[in-house]
Amino acid sequence: MNEQQKNYKAEFNKMLAEVETVKSKWHSPESYEKLQQDLKEAESALKLSKDDIQRKKEVINNLKSVKENKAENKEDLKKDNEQLKEEVDKLKKQIKEISRKDTSFKDFRVIFLSKYKSNPYK
């Protein structure tokens, strides 16, 4: 019987170890419900975070496109400004030329009129 007792004791210790393992992994219904609630809250917070990240990405992309548009507009404005400067320079040259011609015409007129008045039949 001694051998049988040893077998029963060994089997009992094995069963006791299994019970301890199950006990360590077991959660009460209240703690299980709390864990489920915590999981739902964590999933909800994760979803909100993902939505917030997506919204911020969209804002960043919008700001990048605005920045690119500003850069393009700046380049266009530079080109327009350079063209306007060239046009202004051309107009200044034309004004000088017209002014010179006008002065020459006035001088010619004065000379012509003075010559014509002094002797109209010559």
Q: State the residue range of the domain holding 26.
A: 2-118
Q: Which residues, at least 6 apart from 35, have a Cβ–Cβ distance to it below 8 Å?
A: 27
Cα separation, 77 vs 69, whole angstroms: 12
Q: Looking at the whole model, is its pTM more than 0.75?
A: no
pLDDT score at 53:
96
Alpha helices in the chain (DSSP H): 2-25, 29-118
Give the chain's domain count: 1
Q: What is the pLDDT along the chain (122 residues), one digit of tens a residue?
A: 688 888 888 999 999 999 999 888 877 888 889 989 999 999 999 999 999 999 999 999 999 999 888 888 888 889 989 999 999 999 999 999 999 998 988 888 888 778 766 665 55
Chain centre to alpha carbon of residue 60: 4
> Is residue 64 a contact partner of residue 56, using CB atoms and an 8 Å limit?
no
pLDDT score at 118:
64
